[in-house]
Structure 1
Amino acid sequence: MPIIPPFTAPLAWFKSSHSGGNATECVEAVFIPHGIVIRDSKRSESAQLTFSSEAWLRFLPTVQHGTGE
């Protein structure tokens, strides 16, 4: 797995348009130069997942088409 360089600029988080409508299942994301960072919007100070651009692009079709396991 490639190492993503640290990114220290202020992050502009946005909420996923596919998050639950009742605001209990919210995911926030931010694009960074080498990928994307995901977090739980209710626990913004908790752990964050960072994906390379390549990994994110491979992941998206899986969840968009419901083929993930």
Structure 2
Amino acid sequence: MAASDFSRARWRTSSRSGSSGGQCVEVAHQPHAVGIRDSKHSDGPMLVLGPARWAAFLRSLRH
């Protein structure tokens, strides 16, 4: 999925991001993909995962 598919996405900041403001991760959900980016560089590169990979990523964080 192309990054431009996230141009109108609603980005959410992680509640686990640092309170100093310099360590924020943002996530946007689309029907067939999830985008992950650095809030300091919102125009920079992003990681795009499919639903199965996103679910696996979340499971790995819980262990």
Please report the TM-score for the alignment, with normalisation by the length of structure 1.
Answer: 0.78
What are the ranges of 5 or more consecutive residues in structure 1 without an aligned counterpart? none
- Highest CA radius of gyration, 1 or 2? 1
Alignment of 1:1-69 (within 5 A): 4=1, 7=5, 10-65=8-63
Please report the TM-score for the alignment, with normalisation by the length of structure 2.
Answer: 0.84
Offset at residue 50 of structure 1 (A): 0.3
What are the ranges of 5 or more consecutive residues in structure 2 without an aligned counterpart? none
- Of Structure 1 and Structure 2, the greater helix share is in 2
- CA RMSD in angstroms comes to 1.8
- What CA distance in whole angstroms lies between the structure 1 residues aligned with 2:22 and 2:5? 29
Q: In the comparison of the two structures, how many residue pairs are matched?
A: 62
- What CA distance in whole angstroms lies between the structure 2 residues aligned with 1:7 and 1:42? 20
Q: List structure 1 runs of 4+ shifted beyond 6 angstroms.
A: none
How high is the sequence identity, in percent, across the aligned residues? 34
